Amino acid sequence: MITIIGAVIIIVRALFLRSTEYALIVQIIGITVFFGGGLLIPDYTDTNKQKESNHS
C-alpha cells in the first residue's frame, strides 16, 4: 500500500507540478515512500506468514 502511495505521489508530481517550487520536494518524498514501501514488503509478508502459522 505504501508503494502505491509513493507511485501516486510521483505521478502527480510529473503531471501537475512540473515547474513549481515544491516539485523537487514532492519528488523526493514520492521516491522515498515508493522505495521504502518496497523495502517493507518482505517484512509484511513474513509477519503474515507467522500469524497464519500461529492460527493452525
pTM metric for this prediction: 0.56
* Mean pLDDT calculated for residue range 12-32: 79
38 with 4: CB under 8 angstroms? no
Task: Give residue 27's identity as a one-letter amino acid code.
Answer: Q
pLDDT band at 30 (very low <50, low <70, confident <90, very high): confident
pLDDT at 53: 65
Residue 17's SS3 state is coil
Could you list the residue range(s) of the whole structural domain that residue 11 is in? 2-55
Distance CA 42, CA 44 (A): 5
- Tell me the average pLDDT of the chain: 75
In the block, cell 514520492 appears at 30
The total domain count for the chain is 1
Q: Is the pLDDT of residue 39 over 70?
A: yes
Sign of the C-alpha dihedral computed for residues 18, 20, 24 and 27 taken in this order: negative
pLDDT at 29: 85
